[in-house]
Amino acid sequence: MTQSVVVQIGQCGNQIGCCFWDLALREHAAVNQKGIYDEAISSFFRNVDTRVAGDGGSISKGKISSLKARAVLIDMEEGVVNEILQGPLRDVFDSKQLITDISGSGNNWAMGHKVFGSLYQEQILEKLRKSAEHCDCLQCFFIIHSMGGGTGSGLGTFLLKVLEDEFPEVYRFVTSIYPSSEDDVITSPYNSILAMKELNEHADCVLPIDNQSLFDIISKIDLVVNSGKLDTTVKPKSLVTSSAGALKKQHKKPFDAMNNIVANLLLNLTSSARFEGSLNMDLNEISMNLVPFPQLHYLVSSLTPLYTLADVNIPPRRLDQMFSDAFSKDHQLMRADPKHSLYLACALMVRGNVQISDLRRNIERLKPSLRFVSWNQEGWKTSLCSVPPVGHSHSLLALANNTCVKPTFVELRERFMRLYKKKAHLHHYLQVEGMEESCFTEAVSSLSALIQEYNQLDATKSMPVADIPRLSIAM
């Protein structure tokens, strides 16, 4: 089995990362009752004998002694990382796997990418190499960051290039939080578009997510929980909604619930690689099946169920409802309407007591209402993992390579142009060494090229499927 390393950068990245590790521990605790350090746990955690000084304490088998997350935490301010290290998860992190500074990036991509990039390049490389050395077979780096700020956006994307050069065989999966239109950081369009160019060129797969969608989803859950109608109660042990049993008791922070959703996304994405099932799906299969052309690697995700009813026996109708929900625009983790755009490919990752016939029945049912590109009419990739997430009997993660990402990119470009035309705030960037106007123009044309690709695909949407003449052979 393979291992993955999580690199969490910036305030947003670290907060989400923290949620992720909390949930990962809970999930493994629920599945692994005997406390044996097995291959599933080893995908995200090391087993360490803390009595041994220095680095020699790794234990590869047997009982769990002390679990250490395979993580690297990076932030150019100390506040968030310090809080993590003083919080209930402090023992899960290896104190040597951190890089912090004091001043922060000032919401400036150039500061993050150019200044801190060069300043910390050596240290970053060292920490990454260390975490790779602790892995038997490293398959994937998961990078978590936001696009709108300075550190996550700038340093986070600098990191991508380092990873590509240093570990070319290891996949780079990036979870990027895109700024919503009401974002309070004025320069977020600049930061986002400068970061997008790097994502276009150096990421294997990007899972774009926006805060507004997460917020809407949480609001809906709250509505159900608080309405108290029709005997609906939320399952107490659901990882999504409840912090019962979590190491972090505090739920006052506004972003906690939203971060939980993203953390669940990452758990479900890797579940079929960690746990057994009748149709496994490894991480390398995700990019193989969902990325038809190297540049088109943006995957819209949706997660269901987000909450469950307290009834234990969920009849098949509920199961089918789960599939329908995954395709509704209310369940997407970014503002997108995949049903009314064009699918290039779609993956359905199911967990729990779901069998192949359930999967097929639902694909047959939903297929007619979805539009797939002409050369991939049956573009479905499916997986069945037997282990359900904590608190649910089954769950579904849908990943779609769909032209519905285009509006987000188009809007981002518009917001960028509104600022750029007036040269607003530009001097903050240009005064950083290594930054020129050409960085901006190149970034925006990279995005425009991407948008154009999606446009071309969309244009084929309403065309009838042409029959391409086959090879004719002489008999």
Q: How far is the CB of 376 from other proteins (least distance, A)?
A: 6
Q: Which residues, other chains included, contact 57 with Cβ-Cβ below 8 Å and sequence gap of 6+?
A: 48, 49, 50, 51
Closer by beta carbon to other proteins, 244 or else 293: 293
Confirm or reject binding of residue 291 to other proteins (CB under 8 A): yes
Q: How far apart are CA 198 and CA 163, in angstroms?
A: 12
* Contact flags string 132-171 toward other proteins, x per CB under 8 A: ----xx-x--------------------------------
CB of 285 to other proteins, least distance (A): 5
Among positions 284, 321, 324, 448, the unique one binding other proteins when judged by CB under 8 A = 284
Interface with other proteins, residue 378, by CB under 8 A: yes
| Stretch of residues binding other proteins (CB under 8 A), selected from 19-27, 69-77, 212-220, 272-280 | 272-280
Pairing of strands 380-385, 342-352: parallel
Q: Give least dist CB 40 to other proteins, A.
A: 9
Residue 289 found at the interface with other proteins (CB under 8 A): yes
Q: What's the helix, strand, coil split of the chain in %, to 5?
A: 45, 20, 35
Residue whose token pair is 């960085």: 439
Q: Which residues pair with residue 171 across a beta bridge?
A: 140
- Amino acid identity at 158: F
HEC letters along 257-320: HHHHHHHHHHHHHHHHHHCCCCECCCHHHHHHHHCCCCCCCECEEEEECCCCCCCCCCCHHHHH
Size of residue set near other proteins by CB under 8 A = 46
Q: How far apart, in whole angstroms, are the C-alpha atoms of residue 334 and residue 394?
A: 23
Tell me the β-bridge partners of 383.
Answer: 349
What CA–CA distance (Å, rounded) separates 113 from 429? Answer: 11
Q: Which is nearer to other proteins, 237 or 361 (CB)?
A: 361
153, 138 contact by CB (below 8 A): no
Burial class (CB in 10 A: 0-12, 13-18, 19+), 133: exposed
CB of 384 to other proteins, least distance (A): 8
The contact mask relative to other proteins for 334-363 (x = CB under 8 A, - = no) is -----------x---------xxxx-x--x
For position 463 contacting other proteins by CB under 8 A, the verdict is no
Task: Select from 242-250, 263-271, 289-297, 424-432 the region that touches other proteins (CB under 8 A).
Answer: 289-297
Q: Decide whether 212 or 376 has the Cβ nearer to other proteins.
A: 376
Among 228, 312, 301, 306, CA closest to 260: 306
Q: Out of 35, 62, 254, 294, which residue is the one contacting other proteins (CB under 8 A)?
A: 294
Separation of alpha carbons 271 and 281, rounded Å: 9
Options 75-83, 172-180, 186-194, 370-378: segment touching other proteins (CB under 8 A): 370-378
Torsion angle of the four alpha carbons 72, 77, 78, 80, in this order, in degrees rounded to the nearest 10:
-70
Residue with Cβ nearer other proteins (102 or 475): 475
Q: Which of 377, 441, 452, 455: binder of other proteins (CB under 8 A)?
A: 377
- CB 295 → other proteins: shortest distance, Å? 10
Among 2, 107, 393, 408, binds other proteins (CB under 8 A): 2
Name the segment binding other proteins (CB under 8 A); options: 103-111, 247-255, 276-284, 330-338: 276-284
Residue 443, both tokens: 């970034």
- State yes or no: residue 58 binds other proteins (CB under 8 A): no
User: Residue 348: how many CB atoms within 10 A of its CB?
Assistant: 22
Site for other proteins in 10-39 (CB under 8 A): 39
State the nearest-atom distance from the C-beta of 335 to other proteins, in Å: 25
Question: What does the binding site for other proteins look like in residue numbers (CB under 8 A)?
Answer: 1-2, 39, 136-137, 139, 276, 278-280, 282, 284-285, 287-294, 345, 355-358, 360, 363-364, 367, 374-382, 384, 468, 470-473, 475
